[in-house]
Structure 1
Amino acid sequence: MLNKQKDDRITQLTTEYDVKEKDQKISLLNTQNELNTLRIEKSNRQKLLYGIVALSFIICALALYYLLRLKSKTNKELAEKNDIILKALSEKDILLREIHHRVKNNLQMISALLYLHGKSVDDTSAQEALMESQNRVQSMAMIHQNLYQNDNLLGVSVKDYMDKLMNHLISSYNIEQDRIHINKVINIAHVDVDTVIPLALIINELISNALKYAFRDGRNGIIDIFFGERNGDIVLEVKDNGPGLPKNVNKDENGNFGFKLINILTERLGATWTTESVDGTKVTLVVPHKKAA
């Protein structure tokens, strides 16, 4: 009886051990399955992350390639448009130079005709009138010559123009170079075409008047010329040390043709001009800033 109880106890313990061992194996297998599941999930997450990174890289690379292609295409189009613009500007410059050249030639032809006509008449007054007209035409021809010979087609080099005009007028009136001393102060390098053409005619009239009337007795003389800016306005001053204007001469009422021409040109410029007769004659012309611009 005692042996039987022992056997039963042993069998019971053996069964319990086997059950416990199986439970441990099952638990171990479950743990291993969970670890495998975690490894698989981790691997899948890594693959997904790598996939996202790779896809992002591909998208960025494609976007960069597209932007580079677009930039290259845009730069090419801009370069082509710039070439077209530069070509058009070059053609325009050539055309403008040719126009100024032809205008200069035509004006010089008119000047030559006036000169020849002046030589063919005997009346002194007619000769003087023709010579003055020739000088006016020549002063405009010099403007167009200055324009097509220089790089700046929109403005005239004032100093070059003044020098050429002085030499032409002194030669035209047969005045010895050392008899009239001309002082020039020029503070403006270039003047736009719309302003300089009427200014050129005004300068021609003022210098011509000084050469004709201020020193007609053959004595030596001085002409002071100022051309610059004051308070943003263009200012032209021409002063001589001659006898001054006759008292009966009024630039606004009974002036000669030259004064009448200056009045017309001054009005065109929206400018004002005044005369003084103190120690000679001084003429001051002021072109407002809004017009000079």
Structure 2
Amino acid sequence: MIDVRKKIFDLKRIASKFSLIYVVIGVVGLISLDSLVSAYSINKNLEVQSPFIYGVFFIVFTGIILYLMISHMQNVIKNIDKAYKELKKKEKDRLAPYEFALDHSVDAIHWFTLDGKYIYVNEATCKMDGYSKEEFEELYLEDIDPNFTRETAITCMKDIEKTPNWRLESIHKRKDGSTYPVEVSGHAFTYNGKKYICAFARDMTKRIESRKKITNMNEELQKSVKEKEILLKEIHHRVKNNMEIISSLLNMQANKSDDLKFKEAMKESRSKIHAMALVHEFLYLGENLAYINVNEYIERLIDDITELYEFSNTQIDYDLNIDKLEFSINRCIQVGMLLHELCVNAFKYAFSEEKRNLLCVHMKLVEDEIHMKIRDNGEGLKDLTKLDKADSIGMQLIHSIVDFQLHGTINFKNNNGLECDIIFPQKEVK
């Protein structure tokens, strides 16, 4: 019995089933009524109450059938309505995080049709522009962005549709007529077979204010740096001038004395001072206040030493082979003092007027080390150990600079003259 009921009230083709049942009952009732009337016509012996009782029975039975049908349909409708409400609630619960994220987004979110009409905005858009969501449904892009017209708005939508990661900086107009700068990004998407445009707008007011502040700060910093550069250049210029004054005083003192050793000592002191003053001169004249071009500095230093120590008829050839390097102030002074001592020794002890003299200065960067070679074409030294034992100020200065300032090694050898090889790390050791 239960299986029969399930088959009858199965939702599949239920309308045709109920219609068929109703037709069958109606036909059966009509046949029975017809039989009753025929029997009465033939026999003239039918009880008076029979048609009435049969009619009542037929109506009651039909009513019961209709009740069952309508009751079942009501239950079906209730179930459908309940399922729809549950589905709607589930869908609402599922979309709740997305709606929350959209409405609480800092950026304004707009959905447009391809003709630039608003169909959706989030809460941030309403707060930024002053319109309600219902009012936005009547607006177009050009109503919010005064940079667009009806024609250019449609063109813009087409550009967004064709361009991945489309971006634009523009202006939006609020309901009260005020404007604010925005950065807009747009993307095309398809929903239910129809294309739409989703745009994200971000208020750039604070960013532009910050950008202006940073620009002003940078201008102030650049101005301050420029002033400090000028000040540093002036300091280097004054240091160089003060050293020149000291050199001149030493020269004046030497001219007042008849002692040749004293004059020579003053001359060497002036030369050392000039080697250091030359560093400050390069810093003053150069663009970089931290580093000095080594090539130019060494060439200038050797020219100055030559001018100070060259004999009237001395012929000197120079072999300068120096890599492009930049040294700090301290290292440049250290290398300058080394070159000064070694070159002065060559002028004093290796060069003469009777021959063609040669001075070689090589400086190469090999991996992370600097190899420096200074060689003359003099007679050299028979006993090189004397250089290590020498108590002259010049040799003490050379060893002090190489050992304790450059953290390198030094080696003297005879190679068609006296050759000095110095190796020290490229990176300065502090």
1:10 aligns with 2:54: yes
Q: 335, 345, 351: which one pairs with 1:209?
A: 345
Distance (whole Å) between structure 2 residues aligned to residue 93 and residue 102 of structure 1: 14
How far is 1:158 from its partner?
1.1
- Counterpart of 1:280 in structure 2 is 417
Amino-acid identity (%): 23
Query: Structure 1: 5+ residue runs without aligned partners?
Result: none
**Higher helix content, 1 or 2:** 1
Q: Check whether the contact 1:249–1:255 (CA below 8 A) recurs between aligned residues.
A: no
Contact map agreement 1:170 1:176 (CA 8 A) in 2:
no
Secondary structure of the 2:104 match is: helix
Aligned position for 1:228: 364
Contact 2:316/2:356, CA 8 A, preserved across alignment: yes
Q: Which stretch has the larger CA shift, 251-260 or 47-56? A: 47-56
Moved more, 5-14 or 203-212: 5-14
Deviation at 1:163, TM superposition (A): 1.2
Q: Using CA pairs below 8 Å that are at least 6 residues apart, which structure has the higher relative contact order?
A: 1
**Aligned residue among 313, 320, 331 for 1:195:** 331
Deviation at 1:46, TM superposition (A): 9.4
Question: Where do residues 167-206 of structure 1 align in structure 2 (5 Å cutoff)?
Answer: 167-175=303-311, 179-206=315-342
Task: Supply the AA of the counterpart residue of 2:321.
Answer: V
User: Residues 38 and 72 of structure 1: is their aligned pair in 2 closer, same or farther, counting only changes over 3 Å?
Assistant: same
Q: Does 156-165 or 185-194 show the bigger shift?
A: 185-194
Task: Tell me how far apart the structure 2 counterparts of residues 235 and 17 of structure 1 sit (CA, whole Å).
Answer: 121
How far apart are the structure 1 equivalents of 2:276 and 2:349? 23
For 1:139 and 1:222, the matched residues in 2 are separated by 21
Compared with structure 1, are the counterparts of its residues 94 and 214 closer, same or farther at alpha carbon in structure 2 (3 Å cutoff)? Answer: same
Find the counterpart in structure 2 of residue 58 from structure 1.
Answer: 103
Is 2:296 the partner of 1:252? no
228, 242, 249: which one pairs with 1:106? 242
Verify the 8 A CA contact 2:365 2:371 in the aligned structure 1.
yes
Residue type at the aligned position of 2:53: R
Paired AA for residue 19 in structure 1? G
Q: Which piece of structure 1 moves more, 198-207 or 81-90?
A: 81-90
Cα drift, residue 55 of structure 1: 3.8
Q: Deviations over 1:151-194 (max 9, x none)?
A: 33332211111111111111112446981011111124112333
Larger Rg: 2
- C-alpha distance 274-25 of structure 1, shift in aligned 2 (>3 A): closer
User: CA offsets, 1:62-110, max 9 Å, x none?
Assistant: 5998x96799499759947983766665555444433323222221221
Assess if the C-alpha contact under 8 Å between 1:276 and 1:282 holds in 2: yes
Match of 1:239 in 2: 375
CA distance in 1, matches of 2:210, 2:376: 61
8 Å CA contact 2:310, 2:347 repeated in 1: no
CA deviation after TM superposition for structure 1 residue 221, in Å: 0.5
The match for 2:401 among 265, 274, 283 is 265
Matched pairs, number? 293
C-alpha distance in 1, partners of 2:420/2:95?
A: 88
